[in-house]
Chain A
Amino acid sequence: MAQLKVGDFSLDLDEDGFIQQPEKWDKNVALALAETEGVNELSEKHWKLVNYLREYYQKFGVAPMIRKVCKDTNMKLNEIYELFPSGPAKGACKVAGLPKPTGCV
Chain B
Amino acid sequence: MSEDLKPDQLEYYKQESLLKVDYRPPATDWMQTPTAMRPGAFIYSAKPKNIEYIDFPNARNWAPIDEDWKLPTNWKEIVIQGIRERLDKYRSFKVFMDICVRCGACADKCHFYIGGGDPKNMPVLRAELLRSIYRNDFTTAGKLLGRMVGARPLTIDVIKEWFFYFYQCTECRRCSVFCPYGIDTAEITMMARELLHLLGIGVNWIMEPVASCYRTGNHLGIQPHGLKDTLEFFAEDIEEVTGVKVEVPMNKKGAEVLFVTPSGDFLADPGTYTAMGYMALFHEIGLDYTFSTYASEGGNFGLFTSADMMKRLNSKIYAEAKRLGVKWIMGGECGHMWRVLHQYMDTMNGPADFLEVPVSPMTGTRFEHARSTKMIHIAEFTADLIKHGKLKLDPSRNDCRRVTFHDSCNPSRAMGMLEEPRYVLKNVCRNFFEMPPNTIREQTFCCGGGAGLGTDENMEMRLRGGLPRGNAVRHVQEKHGVNQLAACCAIDRATLTTVCDFWAPGVKVTGITELVANALVMKGEGDRKLNFRKEPMRGEEDGHV
Contact = CB atoms under 8 A, between A and B. Distances in A.
A103 interface: yes
9 contacts: A62-B220, A66-B268, A85-B1, A102-B204, A102-B209, A103-B262, A103-B299, A104-B263, A105-B264
Contact of A60 (B218, B219, B222, B494): B222
Interface in B262-286: 262-264, 266-269, 271-272
B490 A86 contact: no
Interface string B483-494: 000000111011
A27 to B, nearest CB: 22
Contact of B457 (A15, A61, A67): A15
B360 interface: no
Task: Identify whether the interface residues of A are mostly helix, strand, loop, or mixed.
Answer: loop
B334 interface: yes
Interface residues of A, number: 24
B219 A68 contact: no
Nearest to A91: B1
A61 B223 contact: yes
B226 A61 contact: yes
Interface of A: 1, 14-16, 20, 37-38, 59-63, 65-68, 71, 85-86, 101-105
A20 B299 CA distance: 26
Nearest to B273: A67
A65 B222 contact: no
Given A38-B2, A68-B230, 10 more contacts: A14-B47, A15-B63, A16-B8, A66-B269, A67-B233, A102-B204, A102-B205, A102-B219, A104-B489, A104-B490
Given A38-B1, A38-B2, A65-B268, A104 B230 contact: no
Given A1-B61, A15-B44, A15-B457, A104 B223 contact: no
Interface in B46-67: 47, 61, 63
Nearest to B1: A85
A103 B264 contact: yes
Contacts of B470: none
Contacts, number: 88
A102 B220 contact: yes
Contacts of A16: 8, 457
Interface residues of B, number: 44
B205 to A, nearest CB: 6
Given A103-B264, A104-B219, A104-B264, A60 B229 contact: yes
Contacts of A105: 220, 264, 267-268, 490, 494
B225 interface: yes
A23 B204 CA distance: 21
A91 B303 CA distance: 31
A60 B226 contact: yes
Given A62-B222, A67-B269, A102-B204, A86 B299 contact: no
B460 interface: no
B221 interface: yes
Contacts of A63: 267
Contacts of B266: 65
A104 B334 contact: yes
Contacts of A85: 1
B158 to A, nearest CB: 25
Nearest to A38: B1
B128 interface: no
